[in-house]
């Protein structure tokens, strides 16, 4: 693959499912962004307390280093809800691509509630995710996909997008 791709969107959109399928298909490393949250941030989210920009700053720096430490490419999951967060990830990796999994609030909430026993993220934060989201549509290197499509089909869309992008360059 050679490119680094961030699978982004609100909680419950399916970032991890698509990232796993894509990393396997492209035979590249998978970095789960949630694994790099501090214990304090995880505790806040589990209690339904939204993270601040300050809470996210170190996390985003760590993820940006992960991207730079994998020059052969990787698939990274990260909500990347604000343009400033995406810009921080792009620093040092201007060719970074983003796949935006778009989902409506009701479906995101349904999914977050369904996984609540196995994930630290509180369903009480879903509204905040949508309030914080600054759509990446229109930014360079962004592909918007319907999050309700199967991970296998989404993976096919991403692979075609990467192929089409390579042909154009």
**Tokens in use for 82?**
């604000």
Residue 48 has what pLDDT? 80
Q: Is pLDDT above 70 for 118? A: no
Distance CA 147, CA 166 (A): 24
Distance separating alpha carbons of residues 18 and 7, to the nearest angstrom: 8
| pLDDT tier, 74 (very low <50, low <70, confident <90, very high otherwise) | very high
DSSP label at residue 82:
S
Query: Which tokens is 60 given?
Result: 């985003």
When pLDDT is averaged across residues 94-117 and rounded to a whole number, the result is 87
pTM of the prediction? 0.90
Distances (CA, A) of 134 to 8, 67, 76, 84, 103: 12, 22, 19, 9, 14
Question: Under a CB-based contact definition with an 8 Å cutoff, are residues 23 and 75 in contact?
Answer: yes
Cα–Cα distance measured from residue 163 to residue 126, given in angstroms and rounded to the nearest whole number = 34
**Residues whose CB is less than 8 angstroms from the CB of residue 113 and which lie 6 or more positions away in sequence, other chains included:** 123
**CA angle 127–128–130, rounded 5-degree value:** 70
Domains of the chain: residue spans and CATH: 4-168 (3.40.50.300)
Exposure of 134 in the CB half-sphere (CA atoms within 13 A): 8
| Distinct helix (H) and strand (E) counts, the chain | 7, 5
Q: Tokens 């991970």 label which residue?
A: 151
At 28-63, the pLDDT tens digits run 999 999 899 888 888 887 788 888 899 989 999 999
pLDDT at 38: 87
């Amino acid at each position: 693959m050679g490119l680094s791709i961030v699978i982004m969107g609100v909680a419950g959109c399916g970032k991890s499912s698509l990232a796993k399928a894509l990393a396997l298909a492209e035979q590249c490393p998978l970095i789960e962004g949630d694994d790099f949250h501090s214990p304090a941030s995880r505790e806040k989210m589990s209690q339904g307390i939204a993270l601040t920009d300050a809470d996210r700053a170190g996390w985003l720096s760590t993820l940006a280093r992960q991207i730079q430490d994998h020059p052969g490419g990787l698939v990274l999951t990260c909500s990347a809800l604000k343009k400033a967060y995406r810009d921080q990830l792009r620093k040092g990796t201007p060719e970074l691509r983003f796949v935006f999994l778009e989902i409506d609030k009701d479906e995101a909430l349904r999914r977050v509630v369904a996984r609540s026993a196995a994930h630290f993220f509180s369903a009480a934060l879903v509204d905040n995710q949508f309030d914080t989201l600054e759509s990446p549509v229109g930014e360079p290197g962004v592909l918007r996909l319907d999050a309700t499509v199967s991970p296998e089909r989404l993976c096919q869309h991403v692979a075609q997008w990467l192929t089409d992008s390579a042909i154009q360059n």
